[in-house]
Structure 1
Amino acid sequence: MGFPGTWMTESESMVYRVVPKCACSTIGQIMFYSDHGEFFDGDIHDSKDRMHKWSQDASQPLIEANVLGHRSYAFTCVRNPYTRILSSFFDKICGIQRNGRRYRGNLVPQIIQKYGIEVGGEDGKQEFDQIASFRRFLLFVRDTIRWRRPMEPDIHWSAMSGHISTFILNGGTYDSIFFTEKFNEGMQRVLDAVETPRPVDLAAIPRFNESEGHGPKRAHPVDAYFDDLSMHLMWEIYKRDFQLFRYDFENPANKMPLGEIDLAEVHAKLGD
């Protein structure tokens, strides 16, 4: 199995387990900058060298040796499940991707047909009932996760705990898991714990939100999208995320965590 979704700086100063929709573009660019004193020109997900990624064959033995020996500081980042799934909907389902096409080819037409969702027309710019469409999308998400139909769950909406657990199950240990909602505080803790070839002034680093502008803007507050049924589905899909990462299930309007993450609990519960 190895360490899918794991990135490591070329200098091996730090190891990061990517969790989609949780500031991964910004974190990747900070890692790249900390080695090279410049940002990757483009979306960091497209980089093929100057940073180790599990998806690059040559990087795998280096990442594996590092993680199994716990030679570097290892971390990841989480986000409120309510805002994360909304972001996935507007970016991946309603939005046009970097290549100018819909995400995953026939995925969007398939769920338009099977679940009756709207996505804002051909370009994602037209008005539509965002709340009704999102709730239908959530049914689709539940079906992919619960029954793997009509397709396997996608990395952008599969549970964060699932991503994070593969690292632990295959022999890795996290030194830090921080909140997207307290990004500067969490990322600074990582930078303070490691020695990087180039200094990083976090206050001067731009935010690399690669999904911004892909799809329509969210027209309502977060809690407007979640009625009783939607919240029931959220609990069914993301119960472990809410519990382990201390997010407020009862109040979708509260994006902030209710407490600190207990790393020992995460390792115990996700390492089974």
Structure 2
Amino acid sequence: MGFPGTWMTESESVVYRVVPKCACSTIGQIMYYSDHGAFFDGDIHDATDGLHKWAREESQGLINANVKTHNSYAFTCVRNPYTRILSSFFDKICGIQRNGRRYRGNLVPLLIQKYGIEVGGDDGKEEFDQIKSFRRFLLFARDTIRWRRPMDPDIHWSAMSGHVGTFVANGGRYDNIFWTEQFNDGMQKVLDAIETPHKVSLKKIPRFNESEGHGPKRLHNVEDYFDDMSMHLVYEIFKRDFELFKYDFNDPSNKMPIGEIDLDEVHAKLGD
């Protein structure tokens, strides 16, 4: 199995387990900058050099050896499940991707046909009932995760604990898991714990939100998208995420964590 979704600086100063929709573009650019003193020109997900990635065959041996011996500081970043699944909907389902096409080709036509969702027309700019369509998307997301129908779950809406857990189950150990909602505090702790070829000043780092502008603007407050049934579906999909990463299931309007992440608990529960 190895360590899918794992990135490492070329200097091996730090190891990061990517969790989609959790500031991964910004984190990747910080890692790249810390080695090279400049940002990658483009979306860091497209970088094929300058940063070790498990998806690059030539990086796998180095990442495997490092993680198995816990040679470098290892971390990841998580996000409130309510805002994460909403972001996935507006970016991946309603939005036009950076290649100028819909995400995953026939996915959106399938959702329109089978689940009756709307996405704002061909360009995502027409008005539509965002709340109704999002709730229907939630049904689809639940179906993919619970029954793998009509397709396997996508990395952007599958549970964070699944992403975080592969690193643990295959022999890795985290030194830090922090929240997107307190990004600067969490990322600073990582930077304070490692030595990098180039010093990083978080105050000067732009936010690389590569999904921003892909889809229509969210028109309502987060809590307006979640009625009792939607909350039930979210809990069914993300129960472990709420529990391990200490988010408030009972109040979709509260994006902030309500407790401290217990790394021992994470390793114990995700290590099997």
Asked if these proteins are the same fold (TM beyond 0.5), I'd say yes
User: 1:140-185, CA deviations, whole angstroms, 9 ceiling, x for partnerless residues?
Assistant: 0000000000000000000000000000000000000000000000
- Output aligned runs, 1:109-258, within 5 Å: 109-258=109-258
Match of 2:269 in 1: 269
The one-letter code sitting in structure 2 at the alignment partner of 1:223 is: E
The one-letter code sitting in structure 2 at the alignment partner of 1:218 is: R
Match of 2:102 in 1: 102
Q: CA deviation at 1:266?
A: 0.2
In the aligned structure 1, how far is the partner of 2:106 from the partner of 2:214?
17
The share of aligned pairs that are identical, in percent, is: 80
The one-letter code sitting in structure 1 at the alignment partner of 2:157 is: W
In the aligned structure 1, how far is the partner of 2:187 from the partner of 2:140?
34
* Partner SS, residue 223 of structure 2: helix
Stretches (4+) displaced over 2 A: none
In the aligned structure 2, how far is the partner of 1:126 from the partner of 1:105?
20
User: 1:242-269, CA deviations, whole angstroms, 9 ceiling, x for partnerless residues?
Assistant: 0000000000000000011000000000
User: 1:82-125, CA deviations, whole angstroms, 9 ceiling, x for partnerless residues?
Assistant: 00000000000000000000000000100110000000000001
In the aligned structure 2, how far is the partner of 1:126 from the partner of 1:161?
35
In the aligned structure 1, how far is the partner of 2:217 from the partner of 2:45?
23
The one-letter code sitting in structure 2 at the alignment partner of 1:107 is: L
* Partner SS, residue 74 of structure 1: strand
Q: CA deviation at 1:15?
A: 0.2
Q: CA deviation at 1:191?
A: 0.1
In the aligned structure 2, how far is the partner of 1:112 from the partner of 1:168?
37
In the aligned structure 2, how far is the partner of 1:126 from the partner of 1:38?
39
The one-letter code sitting in structure 1 at the alignment partner of 2:12 is: E
User: 1:205-227, CA deviations, whole angstroms, 9 ceiling, x for partnerless residues?
Assistant: 00000000000000000000000
Q: What is the alpha-carbon root mean square deviation over aligned residues?
A: 0.3
Match of 2:48 in 1: 48
Name stretches of at least 5 consecutive residues in structure 1 with no aligned partner: none
In the aligned structure 1, how far is the partner of 2:157 from the partner of 2:253?
20
In the aligned structure 2, how far is the partner of 1:199 from the partner of 1:73?
16
- Output aligned runs, 1:81-96, within 5 Å: 81-96=81-96
TM superposition score normalised by structure 1 = 1.00
* Partner SS, residue 45 of structure 1: helix
In the aligned structure 2, how far is the partner of 1:130 from the partner of 1:111?
14
TM superposition score normalised by structure 2 = 1.00
* Partner SS, residue 16 of structure 1: strand
In the aligned structure 1, how far is the partner of 2:6 from the partner of 2:112?
33
Q: CA deviation at 1:19?
A: 0.1
Question: How many residue pairs were aligned?
Answer: 272
The one-letter code sitting in structure 2 at the alignment partner of 1:159 is: A
Match of 2:74 in 1: 74
In the aligned structure 2, how far is the partner of 1:167 from the partner of 1:246?
20
